[in-house]
Amino acid sequence: MSDMEEPYSDEDILDMIAAGAVTTVTLLVGFELLAAGVSHFLLAFPVRIKSLLESLH
């Protein structure tokens, strides 16, 4: 049997987990604002995603 290389490094895996967590939190906040009746809930998506993703790098 040959040794197979791992397709992702540990840093890549952490980046994928962080991106998934940011997306999940952003969607939850957006839907909570929608359910709460906030009329500008759509602003939460681009502003929050942009600020959180920039903070990761």
For residue range 4-45, list pLDDT tens digits in order.
677 878 888 888 898 888 888 878 887 888 888 877 766 666
Find, among 16, 22, 13, the residue nearest to 52 by Cα: 22
pLDDT at 18: 86
Determine, yes or no, domain membership for 42: yes
Q: How far is CA 48 from the centre of its chain?
A: 10
| Band (57; pLDDT cuts 50, 70, 90) | low
Determine, yes or no, domain membership for 4: no
Which structural domain range is residue 29 located in? 10-55
- Give the number of domains in the chain: 1
Determine, yes or no, domain membership for 37: yes
Determine, yes or no, domain membership for 26: yes
- pTM reported for the whole predicted model: 0.59
- Terminal alpha carbon distance of the chain: 39
Determine, yes or no, domain membership for 3: no
Determine, yes or no, domain membership for 48: yes
d(CA 57, CA 51): 11
Determine, yes or no, domain membership for 24: yes
Residue 53 falls in which region: left (phi positive, over 0), alpha (psi -120 to 50) or beta: alpha
